[in-house]
Amino acid sequence: MDDNLDKLKGFLARNPNTRWSKNNPKLKVPAKKSASRKRVTPKRDLEAAVQKEGLAILAKHGIYAWRQNAGKVRVGEYWMQLAPPGAADVTGILSDGKRLEAEAKRRYGGVQSRDQKRFQTMIEARNGVYVLFHSAKELIEKLQKYGYCK
Please return the burial class of 81, using the count of CB atoms within 10 Å of its CB with bins 0-12, 13-18 and 19+. exposed
Class of domain 43-145 (CATH, top level): alpha beta
- Opening angle at CA 42, ends 39 and 45, nearest 5: 115
Residues of the chain with pLDDT under 50: none
- The letter for the amino acid at 144 is Q
Predicted local distance difference test score (pLDDT) of residue 20? 55
- pTM of the model as a whole: 0.69
Predicted local distance difference test score (pLDDT) of residue 60? 95
Predicted local distance difference test score (pLDDT) of residue 124? 97
Break the chain into its structural domains and give their ranges. Answer: 43-145
Predicted local distance difference test score (pLDDT) of residue 4? 73
